[in-house]
């Protein structure tokens, strides 16, 4: 594997892992009140476009990083929708 590919995978892993603390916090607290819906939605759309670009360019690092990022973004959005709906039905 080329050095630049390794660098790209490392960069993608670092940026995608930024979602993990928020996912863990939300899972433990069962609250996502402090998370904006718009921020992960916009970032997720951007990552999806990067994924399409990576597929077109056949760039493994871009593809893997953005599949991971899209999956984590989907988890954040799903948790936001689920926990917000649950808190509205309880109150």
Q: Which domains does the chain have, with CATH numbers?
A: 3-90 (1.20.1280.290)
Least confident of 19-23, 49-53, 68-72, 85-89: 85-89
**pLDDT tens string 1-59:** 789 989 999 999 899 888 999 999 999 999 999 899 999 999 999 999 999 999 999 99
Cα separation, 56 vs 27, whole angstroms: 35
Q: Return the pLDDT at 32.
A: 94
From the list 70, 87, 90, 91, the residue with the least C-alpha distance to 34 is 87
Predicted model pTM = 0.87
Residue recorded with tokens 């670092």: 14
Q: Return the pLDDT at 1.
A: 78
């Amino acid at each position: 594997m080329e050095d630049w590919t390794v660098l790209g995978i490392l960069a993608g892993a670092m940026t995608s892992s930024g979602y993990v603390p928020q996912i863990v916090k939300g899972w433990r607290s069962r609250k996502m009140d402090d998370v904006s819906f718009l921020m992960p939605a916009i970032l997720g759309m951007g990552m999806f476009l990067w994924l399409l670009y990576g597929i077109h360019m056949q760039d493994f690092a871009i593809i893997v990083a953005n599949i991971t990022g899209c999956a984590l973004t989907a988890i954040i959005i799903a948790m936001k929708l689920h926990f917000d709906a649950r808190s509205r039905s309880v109150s």
